[in-house]
Amino acid sequence: MTTFNIRDQHGTTIQNVGGDMVVEGNFVSAGSLGELRDELSRLATEVGQLGLPADQRDAVERELAGAEAAAAASEPDAGGIARRLEQATAVLRDAGALVGGGTAVVQSLQRLAKLLGPAGHTLLTLLSVL
C-alpha cells in the first residue's frame, strides 16, 4: 500500500515515477511552518490551563519545548516533532486530561498532526482512540 499526503503543491510540471520511488526524511513545508509554530504555541498555552499534577505538567512541557525547538531549527524534522507530540499525548491521556475539559488540546493536537503530514499519522491514530 502506498500513501501520499501532499499539501500545497506548487510547480509547473508533475512528474510520474515509473518503478520504485524512495523519498527519505521527514520535512515540513515552508508554507505550513509558520502555522506549525503558531499551533505549538497555542497548544502550550492550552496545556498550561489544564491544571495537571506537577510531574505530568513538567513531562508534557518538556516534550512541547522539544517540539518547539525542533520546529525552530533551520531544517525542521517533522518526525522528531511528531514523536515529541506523541509522548506529550501519552502523558496527557494517562492523566485523563484529554477527556472532557481537554477538547481544545485535542483539537490543537489534531491540527498539528495534519500539519506534520505523514509524520503526524501516528499522532492522529492516538487521538482517534480517545
- Asked if the structure places residue 21 within a domain, the reply is no
The predicted model scores a pTM of: 0.77
Question: 74-102 pLDDT, tens per residue?
Answer: 889 999 999 999 999 999 999 999 987 78
pLDDT at 70: 95
Burial class of residue 107 (count of CB atoms within 10 Å of its CB; 0-12, 13-18, 19+)? middle
User: How far apart, in whole angstroms, are the C-alpha atoms of residue 117 and residue 94?
Assistant: 25
- Asked if the structure places residue 38 within a domain, the reply is yes
- Asked if the structure places residue 23 within a domain, the reply is no
- Asked if the structure places residue 17 within a domain, the reply is no
- Asked if the structure places residue 79 within a domain, the reply is yes
pLDDT at 118 over 60: yes
SS3 for 56-110 is HHHHHHHHHHHHHHHHHCCCCCHHHHHHHHHHHHHHHHHCCCCCCCCHHHHHHHH
Its domain, for residue 44, covers 30-128
pLDDT at 1: 47
- Asked if the structure places residue 7 within a domain, the reply is no
pLDDT at 16: 57
Total structural domains within the chain: 1
- Asked if the structure places residue 113 within a domain, the reply is yes
- Asked if the structure places residue 37 within a domain, the reply is yes
